[in-house]
């Protein structure tokens, strides 16, 4: 069966509003934490180390999106098991038997293909390579259904509202953003990625940036994260499809060492809910003619 017709039960979480009221779709592809039944003892790493590459609890931060008239699609499978923000053909021969050799791909070279070889700090997940069939099974169970659903959401939104704006929700390790602060320019807390203006129109990005700034957060664009597969694939501003990747400094809400919410998690969750409210309301200020 072609994967464009395939939906696998329990492969993702979809929270829909009672009525979608605007052109926004929210996606959290790296917050999956269903480790039971995925690795099945294959990994050489303990559970806490595996979670170091997870965008932990980002789906919870954005869980009120349906309350503001926007669907939220979230991963179930962990990023360390299958990365939904990579292309299905980004297969790493160093971890998958019989994977085809590709032209140089920096993500594969660094061990971060669609089936990752490493988690943060370059720690290897497996002692041995897996079969190509095992890797393909992960794509069938999780990757393809997720992207099928995301395409449906974007298409339906575009049909209904004349535009579709995907908010691609992520978090970044605090240590990844620290080098980007300077005495006269404090470290950003939010990084918006639009592939340097190629995946979303300027007015869409400006409205999203203003929502975070209004919440008192420091915002930067495209450095050090400009967007990956999802932004590149679904962001087509000339066709009224926009994608903005959002990276949130984990130190704002997470105990990174324990991968647990900070005591003030609920307060930050409320702040993000306010940002969502402002973003979704901004649809009224974005005329189609501007695109």
Could you report the per-residue pLDDT of 269-278, keeping only the tens digit for each?
999 999 999 9
| Percent residues over pLDDT 70 in the chain | 92
Alpha helices in the chain (DSSP H): 47-50, 58-61, 106-109, 132-138, 144-161, 174-177, 202-214, 229-234, 265-281
* Integer Cα distance of 278 and 149 in angstroms: 25
CA-to-CA dists, residue 192 to 56, 169, 176, angstroms: 18, 10, 15
Q: How many residues does the chain have?
A: 291
Could you report the per-residue pLDDT of 59-103, keeping only the tens digit for each?
999 999 999 999 999 999 999 999 999 999 999 999 999 998 877
For residue 236, the Cα-to-chain-centroid distance in whole angstroms is 17
pLDDT of residue 289: 39
pTM: 0.93
As a whole number, the mean pLDDT across the chain is 92
Q: Residue 159 in contact with residue 22, Cβ under 8 Å?
A: no
112 closest CA partner among 120, 104, 102, 101 = 120
pLDDT of residue 10: 86
Q: What is the pLDDT averaged over residues 46-52?
A: 94
Could you report the per-residue pLDDT of 208-235, keeping only the tens digit for each?
999 999 999 999 999 999 999 999 999 9
* Integer Cα distance of 49 and 265 in angstroms: 22
Q: Which fold has domain 3-83+142-290?
A: Aminopeptidase (3.40.630)
CA-to-CA dists, residue 97 to 41, 85, 104, 273, angstroms: 19, 22, 18, 44
Domain spans, the chain: 3-83+142-290
């Amino acid at each position: 069966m072609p994967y464009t017709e395939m939906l696998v039960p329990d492969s993702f979480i979809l929270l829909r509003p009672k009525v979608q009221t605007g052109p926004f779709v929210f996606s959290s592809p790296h917050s999956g934490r269903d480790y039971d039944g995925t690795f099945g003892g294959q990994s050489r790493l303990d559970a806490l180390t595996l979670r170091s590459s997870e965008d932990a609890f980002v789906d919870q931060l954005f869980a009120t999106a349906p309350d503001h008239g926007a669907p939220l699609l979230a991963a179930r499978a962990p990023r360390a098991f299958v990365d939904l923000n990579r292309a299905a053909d980004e297969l790493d021969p160093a971890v998958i038997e019989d994977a085809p050799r590709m032209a140089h791909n920096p993500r594969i070279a660094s061990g971060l293909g669609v089936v990752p070889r490493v988690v943060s700090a370059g720690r290897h997940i497996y002692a041995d390579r897996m079969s190509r069939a095992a890797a393909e099974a992960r794509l069938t169970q999780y990757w393809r259904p997720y992207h099928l659903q995301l395409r449906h959401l974007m298409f339906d939104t575009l049909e209904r509202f004349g535009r579709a704006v995907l908010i691609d929700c992520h978090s970044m390790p605090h240590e990844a953003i620290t080098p980007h602060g300077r005495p006269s320019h404090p470290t950003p807390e939010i990084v918006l990625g639009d592939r340097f203006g190629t995946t979303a129109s300027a007015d869409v990005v400006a409205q999203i940036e203003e929502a975070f700034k209004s919440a008192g957060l420091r915002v930067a664009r495209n450095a050090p994260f400009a967007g990956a597969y999802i932004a590149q694939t679904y962001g087509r501003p000339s066709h009224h499809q926009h994608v903005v990747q959002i990276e949130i400094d984990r130190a704002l809400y997470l105990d990174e060492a324990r991968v647990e919410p900070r005591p003030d998690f609920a307060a930050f969750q409320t702040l993000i809910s306010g940002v969502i409210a402002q973003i979704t309301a901004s649809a009224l200020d974005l005329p189609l003619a501007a695109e």
